[in-house]
Structure 1
Amino acid sequence: MTETWYFLDSGHGTPAFNMAMDEVLLNWHSAGKIPPVLRFYGWEPAGISVGFFQKVGGSIDLENAEKYGVELVRRQTGGRAVLHDQELTYSVLISEDHHAMPKSVKEAYLVLSRGILEGYRELGIPAEFSMPEEKKKQAGSAVCFEEPSWYELMVDGKKAAGSAQTRKKGVILQHGSVPIEMDLEKLFDLFIYPSEKVKERARRAFTKRAVAINDVLDRPVSFDEVKDAFRKGFAKGLEIDLEPFTPPEEMLNEAAELEKKYKSEEWSYKREGRQKI
């Protein structure tokens, strides 16, 4: 029998609200109030999410971020800073002890990322997983690229989506970005480089390693088209039914309260102080 998960379409929210809602969903699932959840959302205004342990000072150009109207937020998961702009963002909340979840973080990542893989395929994009060499030998097939990491989504040898995972209160939170369009000028203006020459070299290298959905399709697709394709992809890839979920007032109130934390400089800058660059 197919399992039913909640599907929450949050629309476009502020960076602080987006991270707050993910945390509320984690708390509610941990408490047994809701089943596993798949959530889709966008960002308005655009945001930079920094990894849980990442330092802001010296890496992000805060003056340019302010100029572009891009808001900074620290997320619960690790990794480096990510610009969230013209993209579909997903999050999955599921118990660590769920029968379909491997104990290994890497293997659980693979299981959940099957939904992303099938989402690309719903759009007619031949995405594949990238795996390290030792895994390729075991699996017999994988797309190779310069610096393979665990189960990245690749299209034509380029990274197509980025995800991160954390485990708290017995719950796996995995969320990630599916770029629809990329504004490379904005992207590289938001990070600090030793010189313009280094910055331009990094931008040229990036175009060879990363790709957005509308870079590979014959026609541009909208946020809603991508959302529909990935909803079908997650249902197929995870072999689940998705039941539309409307957050109750209590949940929205909790998110509003947590939003204050994600807006605070204390949380975003984590003891390093707010450093204007």
Structure 2
Amino acid sequence: MREKWAFLENTPQDAAINMALDEALLHWHRKGEIPPALRFYRWNKPTLSIGYFQKVDGKIDFQGMKKHHCQLVRRMTGGSAVLHEDELTYSIVISEEHERVASSIRQAYYDLSKGILRAYQLLGIQVDYASEQISKERSTICFEQPAFYELVANGKKISGNAQIRKRGILLQHGSIPISMNVEMLFDLFQFSTEQLKKRKKQGFYKKATTINTELGEKQSYEVVRNAFQQGFSEILNIELEPITLTDEQWKEVYQIAEANYSENNIKGAVSHV
């Protein structure tokens, strides 16, 4: 018998609202107000999300952000910066006590990522797990380097994921790029010289890929969304029941957005859940 999970898919939202809604789902699941949940979402403007501990000063090019009308938000999860634009973004909220959640962070990543792997297969893309022999060199840009159990296609990173555990609840969210504006991406960071920027940009094409690149043709959001909904449902053996947020729940989301994810909070860390 399939376990019933909540499924939420909202219209494209502001960066702060998107991050606040993930945090709200974590709260609601901890309080028993919703079952385990899967969420799909999009962004109403290009957005650079930075990791919880990631530095901004000397790293982010704010003129580039302004040029591309790009929003900036600090995630509650760690990792490097991700440009969210033409993509499907997902989040999973589930108790650490759930039988599907391993105590090991790496194993939990692996178990939950099986749904992502299956979705790529449904799209016709052959993917593999990143080797455990990956470089330990840190990068400011997420898609320059796969982490353990992230997925690669033809040796290039094709998705980015991050995870956090708070008060017994696990939140994992990730970026599934359909296409990627690499010119915009590299305009959002500071480099010591233009030559270094050019060299890094050229090297990036050898390290990262997207759904459109791998398939050689443009895919609609709807096609990608259907594949990932099926992939998660099959592998996790769950039945997804759509939920609609109440006015009170949306009010809570807006309060979290203002308190934790407004631009005034970028240089600091978001408050603990």
Fold conserved (TM > 0.5)?
A: yes
The letter for the 2-side match of 1:247 is L
What is the CA–CA distance in structure 2 between the aligned matches of 1:177 and 1:50, rounded to whole Å?
13
Superimposed CA distance per residue, residues 126-159 of structure 1 (whole angstroms, 9 cap, x where no aligned partner): 112123159xxxxxxxxxxx97631011111110
Local SS of the residue matching 2:208: coil
Q: Counterpart amino acid of 1:38?
A: L
- For the pair 1:111 / 2:111, whether they are aligned, the reply is yes
Structure-2 change in CA distance of 1:16 and 1:231 (3 Å): same
Aligned to 2:62: 62
Q: Answer whether contact 2:74 2:261 (CA < 8 A) is retained.
A: no
Point out the more displaced range, 256-265 or 195-204.
Answer: 256-265
Distance 1:7 1:147, change over 3 A: closer
Q: CA deviation at 1:67?
A: 1.6
Is 1:270 equivalent to 2:236 in the alignment? Answer: no
1:21 — aligned with what? 21
Q: Does 1:250 align with 2:248?
A: yes
In structure 2, C-alpha distance between the alignment counterparts of 1:147 and 1:43, rounded to whole Å: 23
* Partner residue of 1:204 out of 192, 202, 205: 202
Q: CA RMSD in A?
A: 1.6
1:161 deviation in Å?
0.1
SS, match of residue 13 in structure 1: coil
Counterpart for residue 8 of structure 2: 8
Q: Secondary structure at the match of 2:189?
A: coil
Distance in 2, Cα, partners of 1:193 & 1:262: 29
Determine the structure 2 residue equivalent to 1:174. 172
Note closer, same or farther for the CA distance 1:36–1:206 as it changes in structure 2 (3 Å cut). same
1:142 aligns with none
- Aligned residue in 1 for 2:185: 187
> Structure 1 residues 74 and 11 mapped into 2: Cα distance closer, same or farther (>3 Å)?
same
- Per the alignment, residue 140 of structure 2 pairs with none
Amino acid of the structure 2 residue aligned with 1:40: F
- 8 Å contact kept, 2:49–2:72: yes
Instruction: Kindly state the Cα deviation for residue 261 of structure 1 after the two structures are TM-superposed.
Output: 2.4
- 2:16·2:262 contact (CA, 8 Å) conserved in 1? no
**Residue 131 of structure 2 is aligned to residue 131 of structure 1:** yes
Give the unaligned 5+ runs of structure 2. Answer: 135-143
DSSP 3-state at the match of 2:171: strand
- Alpha-carbon deviation of 1:44? 1.0
Question: Distance between the aligned counterparts of 1:261 and 1:131, measured in 2?
Answer: 39
User: 2:232, 2:105 → 1: CA distance?
Assistant: 19
Structure 2 CA distance for partners of 1:66 and 1:245, relative to 1, 3 Å: same
Unaligned runs of 5+ in 1: 135-145, 272-277
Offset from partner CA, 1:187-239 (integer Å, 9 cap, x none): 10001111111011111111001001000114311111111111011111212
Q: How does 1:34-73 map to 2 (within 5 A)?
A: 34-73=34-73
- Per the TM alignment, residue 269 of structure 1 is displaced from its structure 2 partner at its CA by 1.1
Partner of 2:155: 157
For 2:216 and 2:104, how far apart are their aligned partners in 1?
Answer: 38
**Aligned-partner SS, 1:154:** strand
| Alignment pair present for 1:213 and 2:224 | no
Shift of 1:262: 4.0
Instruction: Verify: 1:228 aligned to 2:222, yes or no.
Output: no
Q: Is the 8 A contact 1:117 1:237 kept in 2?
A: no
- What TM-score, normalized by structure 1, do the two folds share? 0.90
The one-letter code of the counterpart of 1:268 is: I
Letter in 2 for 1:70: C
The 2-side partners of 1:178 and 1:265 are apart by 24
Q: CA deviation at 1:248?
A: 1.9
CA apart distance, 1:264? 2.8
Opposite residue 101 of structure 2, the aligned amino acid is: M
SS in 2 for 1:227: helix
